[in-house]
Structure 1
Amino acid sequence: MTTINACLFDLDGVLVDTAKYHFIAWKQLAEELGFTFTEEDNERLKGVSRMASLDILLEIGGVKLDEETKLELASKKNAWYVDYISKMDDSEILPGALEFVKELKSQGIKVALGSASKNAMLILNNTGLTPYFDAIIDGTKTQSAKPDPEVFLLGAQELGLTPAECVVFEDAEAGVEAAIRAGMRSVGIGSTTTLGRANLVVPSLADFSFNRLKEL
């Protein structure tokens, strides 16, 4: 088995808890459109791009809109979301995440971000995580959303490594699928019910350490 030389992290739900802000903003939009959007509905949006998320939301509400209106609504939701995350600080880094990233750096393992978020830099800067990354691939650098492997392949490329040397940490089914398509090993953060295709599944990064990479 190829030696692991890099760890690539999704952002939302893996390193920081921004998922709650996405949910609040989508729920606000649904209410404005006259229907209810639940936390269960929100599970369908994990790891999905903004416009695809809006399509799912409208399908749930049975609402049909033209493309121009949809773009306006996506911008409105994003403005609400950005307002929420602008107030974030390092207290919103998920348990064990910073400790694990520091441990990787001390062991000479490269660290990269692989996120669909176009607001990743704002979040990383507000939480103080930016300096820990050797490469940052976010929604401003990619054309295709997960499960397309583009974001992770670009990360490996920027690190100068092969996909086989990389491990992906993901909390979404689409992200685990993207890692598989990229030819990378993966650790699911969450439940085996949805992340069963990952090589290993743990409840959070607080349950993971450098030594456990050997299990992959």
Structure 2
Amino acid sequence: MIKAVIFDLDGVIVSTDQLHYEAWKHVADQEDIYFDEKINHRLRGVSRMDSLNIMLEKADKTYSESEKEKLAKTKNDYYVDLLKQLSPNDMLPHVYDVLLNLKEQGIKIAIGSSSRNAKTILKYLGISCLFDAIADGTDIENSKPAPDVFLRAAEKLGVSYSSCAVIEDATVGIEAAKKAGMLAIAVFDAKKSEQADHKLDDIRDLLSIV
């Protein structure tokens, strides 16, 4: 029996892909590194430093660890500034109604995101108070496809791993959910994953599963 649903944030609750792209493009242009939306797509669900390393594959020079840290900070500072544009109107369709419906059913809900900016994003969306727990990049050492963030979310909820469902838009997130022993529900790009237990065309269909 499903007692809790853990939501990825970027791409499930809200789409920040364009903002990430603009921030990484800002850094790439400063460093004269080729970067396009195809490369940006590879960064979905990936930690900040791993994303930076993917971006640097096109670089003409080798960067030291301290230089990489500086570039990552530049990207994040620019991204955080872009986040100020977000409002409740930026939530993906039907998400708010689904969250309310789950709460009315007594099902706990949590965020399980690798982003270190999850709490900031939720604040701008105006929905922080809806979630029973938030597990993000500040809580873990290993990003997806490691299961850490979902395991941490379940622990914060006080619910067994096997009683949790995860809803994800990235294949690495589905892999992480399965490693955590949780029901893996895919939307958008994650529907390509053969590991997904359910594949949704509409997030409202989640209500018929849990």
TM-score, structure 1 length as denominator?
0.92
Identity of aligned residues (%): 40
SS of the equivalent of 1:7 reads: strand
* Aligned with 2:56 (options 48, 55, 58): 58
Once the two structures are TM-superposed, the CA of residue 204 in structure 1 deviates from its matched residue by 4.6
Q: How does 1:168-207 map to 2 (within 5 A)?
A: 168-191=166-189, 194-205=192-203, 207=204
Q: Distance in 1 between matches of 2:67 and 2:15?
A: 29
Instruction: Please say if residues 170 and 190 of structure 2, whose CA atoms lie closer than 8 Å, have aligned partners that are also in contact.
Output: no
Q: Distance in 2 between matches of 1:36 and 1:128?
A: 36
**Equivalent in the alignment of 2:209:** 212
Pair 1:107 & 2:105 matched: yes
* Aligned with 2:12 (options 5, 8, 14): 14
Cα 1:209–1:168, aligned 2, differ >3 Å: closer, same or farther? closer
Q: Distance in 1 between matches of 2:123 and 2:59?
A: 35
Cα 1:99–1:191, aligned 2, differ >3 Å: closer, same or farther? same
TM-score, structure 2 length as denominator?
0.95
* Aligned with 1:130 (options 128, 131, 136): 128
Q: Distance in 1 between matches of 2:156 and 2:190?
A: 30
Superimposed CA distance per residue, residues 41-90 of structure 1 (whole angstroms, 9 cap, x where no aligned partner)? 11211111000100000013454211111100000000110000022110
**Equivalent in the alignment of 2:84:** 86
Q: Distance in 2 between matches of 1:77 and 1:7?
A: 31
Instruction: Please say if residues 52 and 68 of structure 2, whose CA atoms lie closer than 8 Å, have aligned partners that are also in contact.
Output: yes
Cα 1:149–1:86, aligned 2, differ >3 Å: closer, same or farther? same
CA RMSD of aligned residues (A): 1.4
Instruction: Please say if residues 169 and 190 of structure 2, whose CA atoms lie closer than 8 Å, have aligned partners that are also in contact.
Output: no
* Letter of the structure 1 residue corresponding to residue 35 of structure 2: F
SS of the equivalent of 1:77 reads: helix
Instruction: Please say if residues 171 and 195 of structure 1, whose CA atoms lie closer than 8 Å, have aligned partners that are also in contact.
Output: no
**Equivalent in the alignment of 1:41:** 39
Once the two structures are TM-superposed, the CA of residue 106 in structure 1 deviates from its matched residue by 0.7
Once the two structures are TM-superposed, the CA of residue 192 in structure 1 deviates from its matched residue by 5.8
Once the two structures are TM-superposed, the CA of residue 169 in structure 1 deviates from its matched residue by 0.6
Once the two structures are TM-superposed, the CA of residue 114 in structure 1 deviates from its matched residue by 0.4
Once the two structures are TM-superposed, the CA of residue 28 in structure 1 deviates from its matched residue by 1.6
* Letter of the structure 2 residue corresponding to residue 211 of structure 1: S
Cα 1:15–1:121, aligned 2, differ >3 Å: closer, same or farther? same
Which stretch shows the higher mean deviation, 178-187 or 59-68?
59-68
Q: Distance in 2 between matches of 1:193 and 1:166?
A: 19
Cα 1:141–1:191, aligned 2, differ >3 Å: closer, same or farther? closer
* Aligned with 2:94 (options 93, 96, 103): 96
Q: Distance in 2 between matches of 1:136 and 1:163?
A: 16
SS of the equivalent of 1:211 reads: helix
Show structure 2 runs of 5+ residues with no match: none
